[in-house]
Amino acid sequence: MHQNKVEICGVDTSKLKVLKEKEKQELLIKTKNGDRDAREKLINGNLRLVLAAVQRFSNRGENMDDIFQVGCIGLMKAIDNFDVNQNVRLSTYAFPMIVGEIRRFLRDNNAVRVSRSMKDAAYRAMQMREQMIAETQREPTVEQLAERLGLPREEVVLALESVVDPVSLYEPVYSDGGDTIFVMDQVRDKTDTDENWLDEILLRDAMAKLSDREKRILSMRFFEGKTQVEVSAEIGISQAQVSRLEKGAISKVKKYL
């Protein structure tokens, strides 16, 4: 067995060819002119890009051969839609398309089945969100999205939550170079009443140093178990602001502790 050899879909990844930018440009032009052999060479010469995208999903428990094949579909779509007249590298254009293709596959094949109408509402909401960001240069609130879509706020929240990828218990929530906080660290057994009273006092003192909004966000997120989308809807700020305030509050608490 060769060192660093990893086989996926029967392909020895240690032997994948890497094209130079000049070779890519030449093959892209030939591909746009209908040269099928050039297209095949271009696909094979960019499989390392697919492999890099696939590695992002290696801890999902999915069949990696399937994920790799879906990533190849994303690569082919990127090649077919790439504009050679734009001053953009193929890899820069293709990578997000490959990741997006994989994400769609995982959403559509999720063990938790979501109705087609719910998915449609979610995709409409995401498209509207991008449109509103382009118009205002700001993250829209759930209320603003709901108003533009003509849907109840609760329906928009449920739709967006329905297409969020499942989170692993070992997903890192926060890290500042020290001990990392994982999702499983936030899962609490309420039947266990043997609490460390000293830790509670220290935590209470640390929380007292936070602003009222920071306290409210941490309480809703970690004691009430609400998502950032739900918190943003209730407080009336964007999800990005909730995320930023949450990280800042956690950093302050860790500093005080």
Beta bridge partners of 181: 174
CB distance 29 to 43 below 8 Å: no
Q: What is the rounded end-to-end Cα distance, in angstroms, of the chain?
A: 50
pLDDT for the residue 192: 47
Residue 113 host element (H or E): none
CA torsion, points 226, 228, 232, 233, in degrees to nearest 10? -50
> Are the C-beta atoms of residues 79 and 42 closer than 8 Å to each other?
yes
Cα-based angle 7, 111, 225 (whole degrees, multiple of 5): 115
Strand 11-12 relative to strand 181-182, pairing: unpaired
Q: What is the pLDDT of residue 76?
A: 92
Tell me, what's the pLDDT at 30? 92
E strand or H helix at 182: strand 181-182
Position 24 scores a pLDDT of: 87
Task: State the pLDDT at residue 228.
Answer: 86
**DSSP single-letter state for residue 223:** I
Q: What is the pLDDT of residue 194?
A: 45
pLDDT at 176: 53
- The candidate with the shortest Cα–Cα distance to 132, out of 118, 147, 121, 120, is 147
Structure tokens at 15: 């032997």
Q: Which stretches within 45-137 are classed as H helix?
A: 47-54, 64-81, 90-108, 116-136
Could you tell me how many residues make up the chain?
257
Distance of CA 14 to the CA centre of its chain: 28
Walk along the chain (257 residues) and give the pLDDT tens digit of each residue: 334 444 555 566 666 777 888 888 899 899 989 999 989 999 888 888 888 888 888 776 677 888 888 999 999 998 998 888 888 888 888 888 898 888 888 877 665 555 677 778 888 888 888 888 888 888 888 889 889 999 888 888 888 877 665 555 556 655 555 555 665 555 555 544 444 555 666 667 777 788 888 888 888 887 778 888 888 888 888 888 888 888 888 888 777 66
**Interatomic CA distance for residues 141 and 233, integer angstroms:** 7
- State whether the Cα torsion 231-233-234-236 is positive or negative: positive
